[in-house]
Structure 1
Amino acid sequence: MSDPRSPTVLRLAALAAALLPLPAVAQEAVTLDELSVASQAPSAPAAFSASAGYVGGVTGIGGALQPEASASGGIVSGAQVNARPVTRPGEVLEAVPGLIVTQHSGEGKANQFFLRGFNLDHGTDIALFVDGMPVNMRTHAHGQGYADLNFLIPELVGAVEFHKGPYFVRDGDFASAGSVRIDYLDTVARNVALTSIGSFGYKRALTIASAPLGEGNLLVAGEAQTYDGPWDVPDRLKKLNGVLRYSQGTALDGFSVTGMAYWAKWNATNQIPERAVAEGLIGRFGTLDPTDGGDTGRFSLSGRWSHTGEAGITRANAYLIRYRMNLWNNFTYFLNDPDNGDQFRQLDDRVLGGAEVSHVVPGDLFGMPMENEIGVQTRTDSMRVGLFNTTRRQFRSPVLDDQVLETSAAFYAENRVRWTDWLRTSVGFRADGYWADVRSNLAGGASGRPSDGIVSPKLGLVLGPWADTELYLNYGGGFHSNDVRGVIATGDPAGALGVPRAPFLVPSTGYEIGLRNRSIAGLETAIALFRLDLASENLFQGDSGTTEPSRPTRRFGVEWTNRYALTPWLQLEGDLTVTNARFADRVPDAGRRVPDAPTTIASAGIGFGETEGWFGSLRFRYFGQRPLIEDNSVRSRATALLNGRIGYAFGNGVSLSLDVLNLTNAKADQITYYYVSRLSGEGADGVPDRHFHPVEPTAVRLTLAGRF
């Protein structure tokens, strides 16, 4: 059988425990009992459970500390995720310490992410996965790595596994800053029905049900939502979402087949120039182009299979996704076309599929526990991506219209040895190969067949525990891919993609040293010093709504994370990240600050609750000032937000809760950019200005939920 001290066995057992059937909405406590068996402990409740922290935090497996590979990674249970009051689904990712999730457009558009001094745009350097499926889109019409999480149903989340830095062999494209893997539950202990109503036309209905079927279980979930927001032109979001899953066994030994369907349509109030508000042309929640907006659809079929036996652990998953998106945006108003305006449509219509297979072989090296893991990953995207000039959503002229086939394959391997009770090492690498075929649908458009490859080494060293403290040393190479239309670009169609020609794969190199301490009962504290070098930064360009390759960068910083379970019903959290982000090269007359790179990110929270009775939480999030241009002469304002929840769980399975979002009614900004735009009547060269998207004012949402 697999060695019980095997890091993979422990890690997968912990993940399996987090994915046990827990009631959605009011997920109950999870305690990890044996290596591959987890028991439910109904002593902690709807809001928090004492063990709903990082794997290896409050709770151990078999009395042993978890073999985390770095000081900055971990697993958060679904109970902790759902204890947080959030404005939009993607914000559940803020359970990852140091990660900011925001929005600069309509509610159907992908979120904007910030982590470790990165403005990650919509996902450029953070790899996101849901149920084994990649969320980041390559060569996307709106931006490289575009990751739309609006199809996520938070109440179905069983666990969130996160890593920071490019140190892990499973992580490839887009994972330089980090990766987040979200897994859904296979079953719920009791069926769930809830309805929510709130400010600004917010309405949501959700049903989750599971039942035995044959030798396994069938789970069905359905969601519908509408939302207008505080905007002068209402979002009029309409959203439908569904999940159907059949599963047998466990995450360690079993399989599942899952179908998902998602559709949304919305209007959008994008970022607006400060001068337009100051001059009284529009209000703080106004827009200069009321026809901006979009629609999207996502349909997927996926499966996973795993087996644990004497030969080790084998895992496999595969997926097929049908995706379509239309976006209409106008960021510069009348800068490029003073007569018709600068609105453009971005079209993305694709089918993508892929798979991953891995095998962990347990063994020993001169009597010391060892395991070797090998794996392969593959992905293919077949797509049509286009950019078109429009006025009030009416077509005027094409800019780009391409058929793209992009495929990749990767092989990874890692050796892990526990040399002594206080020394563990991991040595590995991954090799990635990319190939694409681009065919323009426009006369004179660029076409080509680029290819590229990269090998990324990964090293890890863990010392301890001594006095319940472990020391972690990590080194790794990573990368992000670029839009293949920019890789083959020979011209500059309306500034749409950026020239000179971009490299296909952009390498990154990361370093980290960290400590994790558990010497105080119930408290897990970790501190990490990190550095990340990126050969080419991708920056947001306001005139095209895309990300464009820029100069090489270097980031170094410190991250401090704390989780404290004071009692089985009361938990505290506190995180702080401080980062220095600079362009690594020196260009005459050019500054070295990376635009939109946050220096300080902080959060704090308190949660309480019992199986029956009162529960609640209070969450504070601080998003510090950022330089908006390279010389640091223009900066954004800081944003500090406070969200709260209070609720009561009745003994019959009914609960009532009230969320208050932006409790202090802070007049802050979700996002700020600095670029040139032109209002009607202004000079032909336009005006450089801050463009901001405001935080929504105080909003309340009341949720009535029943479990039966």
Structure 2
Amino acid sequence: MTILFYKKACSQLLFFSLFILSTQVLFAHTITGYVVDENNKPLKDVYVMHLKSGTHTHTNSKGFFTIDQVEEGDELRFSKLGYAAFAKAITEESEVLQIVLLEASIDLQAVTITNELDVLNTITQADLEVNPVTSTQEVLRTVPGLFIGQHAGGGKAEQLFLRGFDIDHGTDVAISVDGMPVNMVSHAHGQGYADLHFVIPETIENISYGKGSYDKSIGNFATAGHVDFRTRDVIRENVINAEIGDFNYQRYVGLVQVLDNANTSAYIATEYLTFDGPFDSPQNFDRVNLFGKLNYISDAGNELGVSISHFDSEWDASGQIPQRAVDRGLIGRFGAIDDTEGGETSRTSVNINYDMALSDNEQFSTHLYYSKYDFLLFSNFTFFLEDPVNGDQIKQQESRDLAGFDAAYTYRTSLSDYKLDLTAGLRLRNDRTEGSELSRTLNRRTTLENIQLGDINETNTSGFVGATWYVNDFLIDAGLRLEHFKFTYKDALSTLYDTQAQSETALLPKLNFNYRVSENFQLYFKNGVGFHSNDTRVVLQQTADDILPKSYGSDLGFVWKPTNRMIVNTALWYLFLEQEFVYVGDAGIVEPSGETERFGFDVSLRYQLSKHLFLDTDVNYAHARAINEPDGQDLIPLAPKFTSTGGLSLKDWNRFNAGIRYRYIGDRPANEDNSIVAEGYFVSDLNVNYDVTDHLRAGFAVQNLFDVEWNETQFATESRLQNETASVEEIHFTPGTPFFIRGILQYRF
């Protein structure tokens, strides 16, 4: 009887154990859900972690996520920079989760290192939150390692420096806004001219950037890197902002939400800026910006974004001045040799983006844009070198229609039980420029001679395919990009009607690796072939076959979180460029340059010292040389060798927000043998703001806090003054702003 009872008890226990185990196995299943903010707007790139197993995923553009092998009682943790982390225990009733994340102070602890999310762009988003920008110069400076300088008036596009490149106004960095290209091909002033003044800084929500030419989805101009500014889909509160400062500075900004419901949001923004600058001859800079954006998300999660913008500006300029004129006392540091320089420009754009999910594993996005662009610039770099009577003033002018379309498709599948993303894309861009002109002028009124005048039609068609394979903690990303150009030019100065045309194609492979060593450390090795196109007039004047010279580059680096609130990124990099033919818009000539190489390192540090105090610094070194030139004659003019930016910021402390920032660039060669040196500088800025009430903020900002004497842009130029018998080659510079303070008053409602 006892044995019988024992056998029965054992069988019941075994049955009960198998029942419990089977129910647990049966319950272990896939959990899906949506994550939204307090306004019921989907949150993208929320980090979803299964605390028990350590597996993780991210939400997509619809806020949707899915995670496998979750059992009853397990916890999922949801985190995103700028939002309070939230943990959810899974119950048997859990089907489709609806998670709401509440806004919170910036906390670097929320930054996660994974192969599916670019942590460096997340850090840049944190930089924007900690240090809000109020000018296009500040917008550009948020990109680590990107250095800028302004010359020839505030309305002209900034001069860019990155990774040992004097990029001029955009030759080797691809810049876009919501996917719409900013760089202008075959521009009257210079190839790749990128004028960001049509962007209202307060509308920028995040910045996606990359250094090198490793992204298969990015094409022309992405030699040293690329930057895409993304505007807000929705504004959290209406804003009216007023700034008044030294040198007749005034800036007024308004952002107003006009529509906000479960599926649709829309807002308008406007900006007016006027500024004389510290110059003896006021620059009379005047700019108006208008921007409107509508965002619609369907019940199925498909997203439509439509934006319309218009900007118009005009200015006078003192131009670059020769050092000898200042040394002799002919003019002061803020004086001018020819104060009739200046210009005007405008841009009206329509930009449409549409993203849709074809299925759970398929994404499709399309993008359509159009811009009407006008540009007029008067400059005088050599004064009386070419024309001792009338002077050397030149006019550069164009009227452009820019239109484009691109589409991308992504399919998620598996290979050997590991996730595999297959992507393909197509892009078409057409630039039609009428009256692209370079002329010699007098006092911005009289045209003395047409040097170049004609119509340009340039078409760029490109496509790419790629595969991204996630193998445990490894990521392998391979891609191939095809670029095709057709260049057409009608010379208005030719006595006979003649249309010149030529085509060229380039094939660009990419191969990148990521290895997530641990949850706090990631290694990466990036490789790619890139290029930048040349001006249509260069292509048609140059008989060489290699009219789309390529670049070959590699990055080896890591991202490391040594503590919960410290992030370190470093990279060793190398870049080789083939023969280039560069159109010099100021002279209307072609300047050939040989092979070049650059190598160096980048180091970035972000450290949250406390809940409210943030430290950041970027240090960049570059060695740039022309390969086929003799030693001592092989330096690349104006290539930056050492740069650094950073600062200390206070965020949301007892109603105070403040920051002190610095930027440093070392001495660099202004010519090939370093006999002329462009001097470096160290400049600091300060801003302090106080929330008087929940709606009213008052503050001030200071540029050049310690009132140092510095030269913002410098060039080795041969020029002749009116009273000189011979020309002189030396540094010509635009002086940097002296101590400059402005008051700020902001009302939010």
2:217 corresponds to: 170
Is 1:324 aligned with 2:374?
yes
Taking the TM superposition and a 5 Å limit, the aligned residue runs for 1:45-64 are: 49-51=106-108, 58-60=109-111
Q: 2:355 aligns with which of 299, 306, 317?
A: 306
Is 1:137 aligned with 2:184?
yes
Q: 2:690 aligns with which of 648, 664, 667?
A: 648
CA–CA distance in structure 1, aligned partners of residues 294 and 155 of structure 2: 28
Q: Which amino acid aligns with 1:126?
A: V
Q: 2:287 aligns with which of 212, 215, 239?
A: 239
Report if aligned partners of 2:45, 2:60 keep a CA contact under 8 Å in 1.
Answer: no
Report if aligned partners of 2:152, 2:341 keep a CA contact under 8 Å in 1.
Answer: no
CA–CA distance in structure 2, aligned partners of residues 613 and 563 of structure 1: 23
Q: Which amino acid aligns with 2:320?
A: Q
Q: Which amino acid aligns with 1:269?
A: S
2:500 corresponds to: 448
2:733 corresponds to: 692
2:663 corresponds to: 621
CA separation of 1:590 and 1:618: change in aligned 2, threshold 3 A: closer
Report if aligned partners of 1:2, 1:310 keep a CA contact under 8 Å in 2.
Answer: no
Q: CA deviation at 1:30?
A: 4.3
1:550 corresponds to: 593
CA–CA distance in structure 2, aligned partners of residues 262 and 547 of structure 1: 32
Report if aligned partners of 2:626, 2:635 keep a CA contact under 8 Å in 1.
Answer: yes
CA separation of 1:260 and 1:194: change in aligned 2, threshold 3 A: same
1:273 corresponds to: 322
1:93 corresponds to: 140
Is 1:504 aligned with 2:547?
yes
CA separation of 1:37 and 1:667: change in aligned 2, threshold 3 A: farther
CA separation of 1:263 and 1:377: change in aligned 2, threshold 3 A: same
CA–CA distance in structure 2, aligned partners of residues 565 and 650 of structure 1: 26
Q: Which amino acid aligns with 1:321?
A: S
Q: 1:429 aligns with which of 469, 474, 480?
A: 480
Q: 1:514 aligns with which of 536, 557, 572?
A: 557
SS in 2 for 1:348: strand
CA separation of 1:386 and 1:242: change in aligned 2, threshold 3 A: same
CA separation of 1:389 and 1:39: change in aligned 2, threshold 3 A: farther
Q: Which amino acid aligns with 1:609?
A: K
2:536 corresponds to: 484
CA–CA distance in structure 2, aligned partners of residues 522 and 93 of structure 1: 25
With normalisation by structure 1, the TM-score equals 0.89
- Deviation by residue 1:262-316 (Cα, 9 ceiling, x = unmatched): 0000001211110011111111011111110000010001100112341422111
Q: 1:636 aligns with which of 646, 670, 678?
A: 678
CA–CA distance in structure 2, aligned partners of residues 440 and 700 of structure 1: 49
Report if aligned partners of 1:125, 1:176 keep a CA contact under 8 Å in 2.
Answer: yes
Q: Which amino acid aligns with 1:256?
A: G
1:492 corresponds to: none
Q: Which amino acid aligns with 2:564?
A: A
- Deviation by residue 1:105-139 (Cα, 9 ceiling, x = unmatched): 20000001101111110000000001211000000
CA separation of 1:36 and 1:545: change in aligned 2, threshold 3 A: farther
- Deviation by residue 1:290-346 (Cα, 9 ceiling, x = unmatched): 110000010001100112341422111110000000000000001111111100100
Q: CA deviation at 1:186?
A: 1.4
- Deviation by residue 1:411-465 (Cα, 9 ceiling, x = unmatched): 1111011122x21101111000000210011125985101111010000111222
2:40 corresponds to: none
Q: CA deviation at 1:14?
A: 7.7
CA–CA distance in structure 2, aligned partners of residues 14 and 582 of structure 1: 45
Is 1:412 aligned with 2:464?
yes
Q: CA deviation at 1:192?
A: 0.6
CA–CA distance in structure 2, aligned partners of residues 210 and 37 of structure 1: 26
1:358 corresponds to: 408
Report if aligned partners of 1:284, 1:694 keep a CA contact under 8 Å in 2.
Answer: yes
CA separation of 1:539 and 1:673: change in aligned 2, threshold 3 A: farther
Is 1:111 aligned with 2:168?
no
CA separation of 1:280 and 1:409: change in aligned 2, threshold 3 A: same
Larger deviation, residues 159-168 vs 458-467: 458-467
CA–CA distance in structure 1, aligned partners of residues 746 and 592 of structure 2: 47
CA–CA distance in structure 2, aligned partners of residues 213 and 672 of structure 1: 48
Is 1:594 aligned with 2:655?
no
Q: CA deviation at 1:86?
A: 6.5
CA–CA distance in structure 1, aligned partners of residues 189 and 97 of structure 2: 43
Q: CA deviation at 1:506?
A: 1.8
Is 1:248 aligned with 2:296?
yes
CA–CA distance in structure 1, aligned partners of residues 534 and 732 of structure 2: 26
CA–CA distance in structure 1, aligned partners of residues 337 and 550 of structure 2: 39
CA separation of 1:319 and 1:467: change in aligned 2, threshold 3 A: closer
- Deviation by residue 1:390-418 (Cα, 9 ceiling, x = unmatched): 01012112111110110011111110111
Q: Which amino acid aligns with 2:478?
A: V
Q: 1:473 aligns with which of 513, 516, 525?
A: 525
Q: CA deviation at 1:551?
A: 2.0
Is 1:382 aligned with 2:382?
no
1:190 corresponds to: 237
SS in 1 for 2:168: coil
Report if aligned partners of 2:172, 2:223 keep a CA contact under 8 Å in 1.
Answer: yes
CA–CA distance in structure 2, aligned partners of residues 379 and 707 of structure 1: 40
Q: Which amino acid aligns with 1:393?
A: R
Q: Which amino acid aligns with 2:711?
A: D
Report if aligned partners of 1:86, 1:661 keep a CA contact under 8 Å in 2.
Answer: no
With normalisation by structure 2, the TM-score equals 0.84
CA–CA distance in structure 2, aligned partners of residues 304 and 243 of structure 1: 16
Larger deviation, residues 512-521 vs 308-317: 308-317
Q: CA deviation at 1:10?
A: 7.6
Q: Which amino acid aligns with 1:477?
A: V
Q: Which amino acid aligns with 2:280?
A: D
How many percent of aligned residue pairs carry the same amino acid? 31
CA–CA distance in structure 2, aligned partners of residues 36 and 509 of structure 1: 47
Count of residues paired in the alignment:
670
- Deviation by residue 1:508-531 (Cα, 9 ceiling, x = unmatched): 111110011113111110110000
Report if aligned partners of 2:538, 2:590 keep a CA contact under 8 Å in 1.
Answer: no
Q: Which amino acid aligns with 1:275?
A: R
SS in 1 for 2:562: coil
SS in 2 for 1:353: strand
Report if aligned partners of 2:134, 2:201 keep a CA contact under 8 Å in 1.
Answer: no
Is 1:400 aligned with 2:441?
no
Q: CA deviation at 1:590?
A: 7.4
CA–CA distance in structure 2, aligned partners of residues 459 and 31 of structure 1: 36
Q: 1:439 aligns with which of 490, 495, 511?
A: 490
- Deviation by residue 1:617-647 (Cα, 9 ceiling, x = unmatched): 1111111111111112221111111011111
Q: Which has the higher contact order (CA 8 A, sep 6+)?
A: 1
Report if aligned partners of 1:224, 1:239 keep a CA contact under 8 Å in 2.
Answer: yes
Q: Which amino acid aligns with 1:270?
A: G
Report if aligned partners of 1:447, 1:488 keep a CA contact under 8 Å in 2.
Answer: no
2:702 corresponds to: 660
Taking the TM superposition and a 5 Å limit, the aligned residue runs for 1:219-234 are: 219-234=267-282
Q: CA deviation at 1:585?
A: 1.5
Q: CA RMSD in A?
A: 2.9
Is 1:529 aligned with 2:572?
yes
SS in 1 for 2:389: coil
